[in-house]
Chains A and B, each alone.
Chain A
Amino acid sequence: MANPIVKYENVHKSFGEVKVLKGIDLDLMPAEKVAVIGPSGSGKTTIIRMLMTLEQPTLGSIVVDGKNLWQMEKNDQLMDANEKHLRQVRGDIGMVFQHFNLFPHLTILENCMTAPIHVQKESKASAKNRSIEMLEKVGLGDKLENYPSQLSGGQKQRVAMARALVMRPKIMLFDEVTSALDPELVEEVLTVIRGIANEGKMAMVLVTHEMEFAQDIADRVLFLDGGVIAEQGSPDEVFGNSENERLQSFLHRFRR
């Protein structure tokens, strides 16, 4: 069996006195699709933000493709990673946010092509071509010169996905990417994610409240509760009849 592309080992996270995560162990395989569910405030967002280097674990380690994300070795000593180290390790990770976080001063096309040009040192022409291709793929080929403020929520979120995808990440993180959208716009975004998932190349971690969607595309579902992974398994196992009572009552609230 292949090596995991991401490995969390005994990861803890506190904000001040509040212990949010109390020992997360998690292996993510290349191309594996993992859905993370759990009550509000259980730390789902925090789990993926630590992988994206937006939040530093209080304890434990996260290893990405064999490299320790938050620690580096210097003169045979383990120390906190500096920016250079973080940039080396997080290059294969992309993230889509709940509130899109598009760059409002740039056009849709510029939103997509800026990072390939400046971060990956790709030529302008090639970055532009690939960005246009990617925007066409998410159905926004006719909006290239528009600014984010001129788009609907669903369109913004599709731009955000294109922007992350042109960086060709090996791991994509999705943080409740449909929960800020009007209900009628949710499906267009889920369709795009399904398309990406079906290509099968990337590992994906999806924090979501869309249970049917999770069941549909995930290889594995994690139920986060009380600061730990309280239950995990295939969608059938988790959404079927797990014996975990907290999970049952959590799921119950989503069924009409």
Chain B
Amino acid sequence: MITISAISDIFPVLMQGIKITVTVLIASIICGYLMAFIAGFCRLSNNVILRKFTGLYVEVFRGTSLIVQLFWLYYALPILFGFDLGSDFWAGVLAISLNYGAYMSEIVRGSILSVAKGQTEAATALNMSSFQRMRLVIFPQAVRMMLPEFGNYLIQMLKATSLVSLIGMTDILYYGDILRSSNLSQAPTVYLLVLVFYFILALPLIWLTRRMESYSKKGVASQ
């Protein structure tokens, strides 16, 4: 059963996994957003090949499961191409950021496309270059549309980090599994605490999402 003494035994063990979970999360968030912007802009490029290639990437990574992608990066790639990412850390981060980057690139693309055509025209009439139009007029408006959706993906990425335990990374879930396999009767307490850990980690992300939402509403009501 769930007892205080069991909780105090399990708690410190799970704590050891926090560092991995958090570092994988932070690296995945940074790389994921980076990927989202790179792929989002490539899909809007004038270069057909770039556009098609990025489109293929997005469809493949959205159309297959994250866990299979993770196993590909970690187990299959090194054998097939002798190409080793060097660590389970980068395999995990790359899988999560390529996967979520694919989803979020659609947000980037969609937001940029949904800025009204009249905005580009007004910027052109002020003789801005295409780069200035993007930087000064289109992008700032598009970002405000992206932020709330980006926020939702923050929490999803946190949840996805638990998959790295499957390639042997010692995150929260990994320690939870170890505890459970050494004493099955503790499973309810272990997984209750695991849930609590993830929820507590999600709290700042939820707060951040709210901030992003309210920022995005500021000063941008449609003209």
Q: Do A and B bind each other?
A: yes
Provide the bound-state CA to CA distance between A100 and B223, in Å: 8
Contact B219 A54 (CB under 8 A): no
Contact B121 A115 (CB under 8 A): no
Asked if A87 CB lies within 8 Å of chain B CBs, one says yes
Asked if B132 CB lies within 8 Å of chain A CBs, one says yes
Q: Please indicate the chain A residues that have their CB under 8 angstroms from the CB of B127 in the complex.
A: 87, 90-91, 115, 119, 167
Indicate with 1 or 0, residue by residue over A145-186, a CB within 8 angstroms of chain B CB atoms.
001110000001000100110010000000000000000000
Q: Please indicate the chain B residues that have their CB under 8 angstroms from the CB of A239 in the complex.
A: none
| Known interface pairs A102-B223, A105-B141; A163-B126 also in contact (CB < 8 Å) | yes
Chain A, 70-121, CB within 8 A of any chain B CB: 83, 87, 90-91, 93-95, 97, 99-105, 107, 114-115, 118-119
Contact B136 A114 (CB under 8 A): yes
Q: Please indicate the chain B residues that have their CB under 8 angstroms from the CB of A147 in the complex.
A: 219, 221
Provide the bound-state CA to CA distance between A53 and B220, in Å: 27
* Closest A residue to B142 using CB positions: A105
Asked if A52 CB lies within 8 Å of chain B CBs, one says yes
Asked if B182 CB lies within 8 Å of chain A CBs, one says no
Asked if B129 CB lies within 8 Å of chain A CBs, one says yes
Q: Please indicate the chain B residues that have their CB under 8 angstroms from the CB of A87 in the complex.
A: 127, 129
Provide the bound-state CA to CA distance between A91 and B127, in Å: 6
Asked if B183 CB lies within 8 Å of chain A CBs, one says no
**Residue in A53, A90, A102, A105 whose beta carbon sits within 8 Å of that of B122 in the complex:** A102
Asked if B79 CB lies within 8 Å of chain A CBs, one says no
Q: Please indicate the chain A residues that have their CB under 8 angstroms from the CB of B126 in the complex.
A: 94, 114-115, 119, 163-164, 167
Contact B125 A94 (CB under 8 A): yes
Report the minimum CB–CB distance from A77 to chain B (whole Å). Answer: 22
Report the minimum CB–CB distance from B75 to chain A (whole Å). Answer: 47
Contact A164 B125 (CB under 8 A): yes
Q: Please indicate the chain A residues that have their CB under 8 angstroms from the CB of B220 in the complex.
A: 104-105, 149
Contact A97 B121 (CB under 8 A): yes
Residues of B within 8 A of A (CB): 116, 118-119, 121-130, 132, 136-137, 140-141, 144, 219-223
Residues of A within 8 A of B (CB): 52-54, 83, 87, 90-91, 93-95, 97, 99-105, 107, 114-115, 118-119, 147-149, 156, 160, 163-164, 167
Q: List 17 A-B contacts (CB under 8 A).
A: A54-B124, A83-B130, A91-B127, A93-B125, A94-B126, A101-B118, A101-B119, A102-B223, A104-B141, A105-B144, A105-B219, A115-B126, A118-B128, A118-B136, A160-B122, A167-B126, A167-B127
